[in-house]
Homo-oligomer: A and B are copies of this chain.
Amino acid sequence: MPDPDAETQAAALAEAVSAGDRRALARAITLAESTLPAHRAAARALLARLVGVGDALRVGLSGAPGVGKSTFIEGFGMMLVERGLKVAVLAVDPSSARTGGSILGDKTRMDRLSRAPGAFIRPSPSGAGLGGVARRTREAIRLCEAAGYDVILVETVGVGQSEIMVAEMTDVFALLLAPGGGDELQGVKRGIMEIADLVIVNKADGDLEPAARRTAADYAGALRLLRRRPHDPDGYPQALTVSALSERGFEDVWQAISALDAERRARGWRAARRRDQAVRWFRFEVSQGLEAAFRADPEAGAALPALEAQVAEGALAPDAAAEAALEKFIRR
């Protein structure tokens, strides 16, 4: 039985969000970020009303601290805004759960973009854990899309699994790097290179320009050798250089992103990717929910640490331990 209060709130908010009201969008995202049961119910009702509204290009962007990510997003975002596109920037930083968010930081470091009427910037929610941040970011993406944004940039720092998570909720995934040759990998995590559609080498300016070009060429070669994906058009993954500081290369990046998206759309791959993503989230949420219930179980959950320790020591086989734990939960 739907809650009538949640329904009323959702109806009004849905109308304001889809009319492009920025304050309504901000309130809707705050609702989606809340963990209060009443807010969750309202957020779910809101999202249900907005199913199918809007159609944005979702772009994931990852880069370690120091590669010039904020400068890049500010300049790249401004270029898109000046072309008449509405741009939303969402940040995903699971570590901000510890520091209580980075609201001030995000707005300060993207000064021009945050004042542009066609842009909307939302810092990372300061929430509990990657799972919580993931759900809220997915919902925020949907809300921005329903509010009529054309391009949604979801940026993340290279922390743990956050890049994989962002790639799982976007249409195109780009990795921003600083120039640097050979073995040096700038904190790029295992598995990231494999999901990047674009590698963008920043700081192609001044003394660093030759190094940036060399780095891009090296990655282009390596990506060609180590990657083959059936759903990539020719020429992708691509490696490019930009100078965020002198605002050069943004056009090429946009061209590479939008051409890739157009090709994928034309072949039905984008729709298929979104369907796959939705089904994977669903399965992931189910399995997370099951494990949470399992861990919260007074008998099974309590037995876990001791079983896990015995498995780690080699005193108990993993399968036997799992069987022992599951018996406590399921056979009741």
Which residue from chain B places its CB closest to the CB of A312 in the assembled complex? Answer: B275
B285 and A287: CB pair below 8 A? Answer: no
**Interface residues as binary, A222-258 with B (CB distance below 8 Å gives 1, 0 otherwise):** 1011111100000000000000000000000000000
Q: Which of B44, B193, B311 contacts A279 (CB 8 A)?
A: B311
- Write 28 A-B pairs (CB below 8 A) sorted by A numbering: A44-B320, A47-B317, A48-B316, A48-B320, A52-B314, A139-B317, A139-B319, A182-B224, A183-B225, A184-B228, A185-B227, A194-B194, A218-B225, A222-B225, A275-B312, A275-B313, A275-B314, A279-B308, A279-B312, A279-B318, A281-B318, A281-B319, A282-B321, A285-B319, A285-B321, A286-B294, A287-B291, A293-B330
A278 and B322: CB pair below 8 A? Answer: no
**Interface residues as binary, A260-303 with B (CB distance below 8 Å gives 1, 0 otherwise):** 00000000000000110011011101110111011000000000
Cα-based distance from A283 to B325 in the complex (angstroms): 10
Interface SS of chain A: helix
A287 and B289: CB pair below 8 A? Answer: no
- Taking CB atoms, residues of chain B closer than 8 Å to A183 are 224-225, 228
- Taking CB atoms, residues of chain B closer than 8 Å to A308 are 279, 282-283
10 cross-chain pairs, A with B, having the tightest CB-CB distances, nearest first = A285-B322, A281-B318, A282-B318, A222-B222, A185-B228, A289-B326, A290-B290, A282-B311, A293-B330, A275-B312
Closest Cβ of chain B: how far from A188's Cβ, in Å?
8
Contact of A109 with B by CB under 8 A: no
The count of identical subunits is: 2
Contact of A307 with B by CB under 8 A: yes
A317 and B48: CB pair below 8 A? Answer: yes
Cα-based distance from A269 to B291 in the complex (angstroms): 29
- Taking CB atoms, residues of chain B closer than 8 Å to A224 are 182-183
Cα-based distance from A106 to B60 in the complex (angstroms): 46
Q: Which of B44, B188, B190, B225 contacts A182 (CB 8 A)?
A: B225
Given that A291-B287, A319-B281 are contacting pairs, would A190 and B275 also be in contact in the complex, using a CB cutoff of 8 Å?
Answer: no
Closest Cβ of chain B: how far from A300's Cβ, in Å?
9
Indicate the member of A221, A229, A287, A311 with the most B CB atoms within 10 Å: A311
**Interface residues as binary, A178-210 with B (CB distance below 8 Å gives 1, 0 otherwise):** 000011110010110110000000000000000
Q: Which of B47, B283, B326 contacts A320 (CB 8 A)?
A: B47
B228 and A222: CB pair below 8 A? Answer: no
Tell me the A118-170 residues at the B interface (CB within 8 Å). 135, 138-139, 142
Contact of A219 with B by CB under 8 A: yes
Cα-based distance from A287 to B221 in the complex (angstroms): 39
Cα-based distance from A139 to B318 in the complex (angstroms): 10
Cα-based distance from A194 to B227 in the complex (angstroms): 11
Contact of A104 with B by CB under 8 A: no
A329 and B47: CB pair below 8 A? Answer: no
Contact of A315 with B by CB under 8 A: yes
Cα-based distance from A274 to B44 in the complex (angstroms): 43
Closest Cβ of chain B: how far from A293's Cβ, in Å?
5
Indicate the member of A47, A281, A286, A287 with the most B CB atoms within 10 Å: A286
